[in-house]
Amino acid sequence: MKPTAKPKPGARMRAKEKSEHGLVIVYTGNGKGKTTAALGMALRAVGRGWQVLMIQFGKGDWHYAELESSQRLAPDFEIAPMGLGFYKILDDAHTEAEHRDAARQALEFARAQMLSLKYDLLILDEINGTLAAGLLALDDIMTFLDAKPSAVTLVFTGRYAPQELIDRADLVTEMREIKHPYQKGILAQKGIDY
């Protein structure tokens, strides 16, 4: 019996492998790893032939290495940075109105992409914090969820996921900080945090 040939590195899967249901998944909590968990899911989904889009609501023009790594998986995995940076922290020089407008535009873009059925997995990165800051209305998120096609899986990341979103989700994971290098004065690390 001849062994099955392994695919060459970089070879794309032709057939899409999907389960019956598109899920609503929430990664929240004060611990590290919410975006990283979503990126791991994206990697797995691409391995199954899915089309994946991550829309970043909070990171703005900060440089994150996932932007480069996603280009290696393009066109199967794309990232759209749409936020203006984290609201009211670090070097935020934007007004609340500017942040609110960027968040609204990102949600409208997410809705259009979701309804296009081009993507099997749509990650709304840092949207929970955007909601908690009052830059988006909870009713807008509930309306967004009401429009979700059954085949699309949605992932919501960020701290402070509202209870209403948690109640609507199929899977919720809370990242809890137990220990962090920042407590020893170690700042964010390239390749680990960004």
Residue 76 lies in a domain: yes
| Domain-embedded: residue 31 | yes
Indicate whether 192 belongs to any domain. no
Strands 171-174 and 52-56, sheet pairing: unpaired
pLDDT higher for 45 or 91? 45
Q: Residue 65: what pLDDT?
A: 73
Per-residue pLDDT band for 68 (boundaries 50, 70, 90) equals confident
Condensed to tens digits (0 to 9), the pLDDT of residues 70-128 reads 888 999 999 999 876 676 566 767 677 888 999 999 999 999 999 999 999 999 999 99
Distance CA 119, CA 53 (A): 7
Share of the chain above pLDDT 70, in %: 83
CATH number at residue 99: 3.40.50.300
User: What does pTM read for this prediction?
Assistant: 0.86
Q: How many Å is the maximal CA-CA distance in the chain?
A: 67
CA distance 194 to 10: 24
d(CA 120, CA 45): 8
CB burial string 70-96: b at 16+ within 10 A, e below: beebeebbbbebbbbbbbeeeeeebee
Q: What token pair was written down for 18?
A: 């999907």
For residue 135, being part of any structural domain is answered with yes
DSSP class of 133? T
Q: What are phi and psi of 127, to 5 degrees?
A: -70, -30
In a domain, 137, yes or no: yes
* 14 within some domain: no
Domain that holds residue 81: 24-184
Of the pLDDT bands very low, low, confident and very high (cuts 50, 70, 90), residue 140 is very high
